[in-house]
Amino acid sequence: MEKRGVEVLKDKRLSKSTAFTLDEKENLGLRGLLPYTISSQEIQKIRVIENIRRKESNIEKYIFLSALQDRNERLFYRTVIDYIPELLPIIYTPTVGEVCQQFSHIYRIDKGFYITPEDKGDIRNLLDNWPEKDVRVIVVTDGSRILGLGDLGCNGMGIPIGKLSLYTAGGGISPEYCLPVMLDMGTDNEKLLEDFMYLGYPHKRLQGKEYDEIVEEFVMSVQEKFPKALIQFEDFVTPNAYKILEKYQNRVLCFNDDIQGTAAVALSGIYTSSGITGEAFRDQKVMFLGAGSAATGIADLLLKAFINEGCTEQEALGRLWFVDIHGLLVKDSKGVMAHNEKYAQPVPSLNFIDAIKEIKPTILIGASGAKGAFTKEVIELMAMQNVRPVIFALSNPTSKAECTAEEAYHWSDGRAVFASGSPFMPVTLGDKTFNPGQGNNVYIFPGVGLGAMAVEAKSLPDTVFLVAALELARQIHQSDLESGTLYPKMTNLRTISFEIAVAVANHLYEIGMARKEQPKNIRTYIKNLMYDPTY
């Protein structure tokens, strides 16, 4: 039975609020339920952005946007798409970090899907409770390592919700295809366990075999219930992130955004930096501060990229160096994790500063979550050894960045080629203004997801992320490079995602990883798949 009256206004996918025409008001039983004036979606959008700008804090802006999404989904996405540079920091990093920290205290509307250890053995039946029958993209976290903020337990649900909003706004994947999931395995965060308002499973975090069994049951239940769904693993602690990726990458359609998405964005920035520094990609020497999943994921993709450029594996490994809290990662280092072993170098151990002096990296990548770790001494040393030092401060949110854009430019006398994980404002130094690039994974995952969905991919080999990185680098314009940025304008995000989707889809057909028969015109086919929120 067709919805009428208030039911239409309360359905977020049907509601157009004050944009319903006279005929629609008559036919849908809306007369008397709305003001007299009919507003176009364009006018509604202006009203929304004016209201957002009146809010004094970013978290209040987030709450306002979240409420809009719950009552008028199409207006929400139309506004986000048209104001993406302004609203991306609100619906995702850095504001989403604060949202996750306060999630249990600002909880309003039920969103997402929650699985706890008490659901073991019944996860497949639980999935039947989700109202949509054709899910194509799932973002799942266990809340154990949210951005650089650590274990936030169930509060980490803000991450899947935010990422899926970007799949729709940035990649054109219809919101009905999206499912945010929290594997609520408990938390070791004592403050949360002591908080009477905490909404999560109020026990210490599940570990070991029991944890693995729940992940396995979830992944296999998805294969049965939503066989075409891409699973994106997000913000798991490093050991589990690698264990899960290695276990499922070749079994099901999945990827880990912290490992593979971050890697593709960073690799693209490094490709692009060569256009500023004038140094060939294969001649770069990269040093990482931090040895977690993000840093190692970048190194793994760089290793493949160096080999593609003609380096032997040994030569490529000689261009990738890690420093963690114990110093330079070397063969004699204690407690080296399995995924880092190949990067342990056969040299004596050194502290961070001495490692920079000795190794002389051309590129410094921070993925440590250590605020201010790129000190004035570090930046000046990099600038002393390189005409155009490349500095990536990738830790999120902004409060965790290894240095600010202003620090990188000032301490290098304007010679640094800088990118960060969270946004920074332009910096003016003398008569030159620098526009720091944001190495945000949103440049990669929406396009990869759209391409995978378009061809009904079987799995996503690492080569997919090489292809995505190269395509992203191709989207940069000379004018962008001249302002010092390494990434294309965020206003072009949907076009960028579309081009990445086409490149990924073509690659998946080439390597035999597509289930769907290849269409005659892949570009037209993918363009027609993209969700348009206009009404």
Compute CA 410 distance to the chain's CA centroid, rounded to the nearest angstrom. Answer: 29
- What are the helix and strand counts (H, E) for the chain? 24, 14
CA–CA separation, 299 and 111 (whole Å): 35
CA–CA separation, 96 and 163 (whole Å): 10
Owner of token pair 């940069």:
476
CA–CA separation, 260 and 342 (whole Å): 18
- Identify the three-state secondary structure at position 438: strand
- Identify the three-state secondary structure at position 287: strand
From the CA atom positions of the chain, what is the Rg in Å? 23
- The answer to whether 69 and 78 have CB atoms below 8 angstroms apart is no
- The answer to whether 152 and 143 have CB atoms below 8 angstroms apart is yes
- The answer to whether 292 and 400 have CB atoms below 8 angstroms apart is no
CA–CA separation, 382 and 363 (whole Å): 8
DSSP of 208-275, one letter per residue?
Answer: HHHHHHHHHHHHHHHHHH-TTPEEEE-S--HHHHHHHHHHHTTTSSEEEIIIIIHHHHHHHHHHHHHH
- The answer to whether 171 and 497 have CB atoms below 8 angstroms apart is yes
CA–CA separation, 202 and 204 (whole Å): 7
CA–CA separation, 203 and 223 (whole Å): 29
CA–CA separation, 323 and 342 (whole Å): 14
- Among candidate residues 61, 163, 304, 400, the one labeled active-site is 163
163 is catalytic: yes
92 is catalytic: yes
- Identify the three-state secondary structure at position 419: strand
Burial 246-282 (b: 16+ CB within 10 A, else e): eebbeebbbbbbbbbbbbbbbbbbbbbbbeebebebb
Amino acid (one-letter) located at 340: N
The tokens describing 228, both together, are: 């075409």
| CB-based burial label for 387 (10 Å; 0-12, 13-18, 19+) | exposed
Q: Alpha carbon of 185 to those of 96, 133, 210, 363: distances in Å?
A: 21, 26, 10, 38
The tokens describing 314, both together, are: 């040994």
Cα dihedral across residues 405, 406, 411, 417: positive or negative: positive
Compute CA 339 distance to the chain's CA centroid, rounded to the nearest angstrom. Answer: 21
- Among candidate residues 92, 198, 248, 487, the one labeled active-site is 92
Residues designated catalytic: 92, 163
